[in-house]
Amino acid sequence: MNNAPIGIFDSGLGGLTILKALQKTLPAERLIYFGDTANVPYGSKSRETVTRFSRDIAQFLEQKGVKLIIVACNTASALALTRLRKTCRVPVLGVIEPGAQKAVRSSRGGRIAVLGTEATVKSGAYRQQILKLAPHAKVTQVPCPLFVPLVEEGWSKNPVTRLIAAQYLKPLAKTQADTVILGCTHYPVLKPVIANVLGKQVQLVDSAQTLAQEVKNYLISHDEQAQGRGSLTIYASDAPERFKHLAKHILGTRLKTVRLKKLNA
């Protein structure tokens, strides 16, 4: 038994899709979430910058006594995970491996597309992981840089979002992809729009539930599951009231408090 909290961080609101799955799968765990709203989006930033932000957040979470850190941000998982695993005192899990595993299991014909930020796509992290699991898979990667700001603005149901999605997803028609990875934690918020554009024949994959199960398996195997009643503490590096307002659309419930924590402050 280990009642120490689990730390989760993302560039902004998107990681709440992971948080929601963790709350459902691990109701006894104490969760600490950090949304780096002062620096969102990560997807257009360099590896050095994303690694620096990730390291600073991980240090803050370690100061809070976490037993495990989950990098909910796909960009940070692609660019900073290796560095974090070397520098953190606690285990660090990312979202790319679970997402790739689920896509390979879900694909009927081995034609898999990855939607991601510019940095995630450029890193090739999903392609590498998919081909490691399924060497003969056909992998297409599509950068969708405007999706994150659309979610952060609360525009998931705005008609302009469907127009942008249709433009981004047009190249997928030629690939005949049967499975599409939502390779950013913000993108599941746009799942209805993306599904409408791609059609029912395409399987959409996000790593939230797969990652939550992986965390559960890890805690069981290391005898570190919590007992009792779980809790949630949320920090944002900027505009906590705005974060609280927009979070309701993802979590389906209103947050009581979002605390302001500026990095390096």
Which residues have a catalytic role annotated? Answer: 73, 184
DSSP 100-152: HHHHHHH-SSSEEEEEE-HHHHHHTHHHHHHHHH-TT-EEEEEE-TTHHHHHH
Instruction: State the Cα angle at 45 between 40 and 49, rounded to 5°.
Output: 95
Long-range contacts of 214-223 (CB under 8 A, 24+ apart): 214/93, 214/98, 215/6, 215/22, 215/25, 215/26, 215/68, 215/70, 215/93, 216/25, 216/26, 218/68, 218/91, 218/93, 219/2, 219/26, 219/29, 219/68, 223/1, 223/2
CA dist 106 and 125 (Å) reads: 19
Closest listed residue to residue 42, CA positions, set 58, 53, 57: 53
Q: Phi-psi category of 232—alpha, beta or left, where left has phi over 0 and alpha has psi -120 to 50?
A: beta
Neighbours of 207 (CB within 10 A): 29
Closest listed residue to residue 187, CA positions, set 37, 26, 41: 41
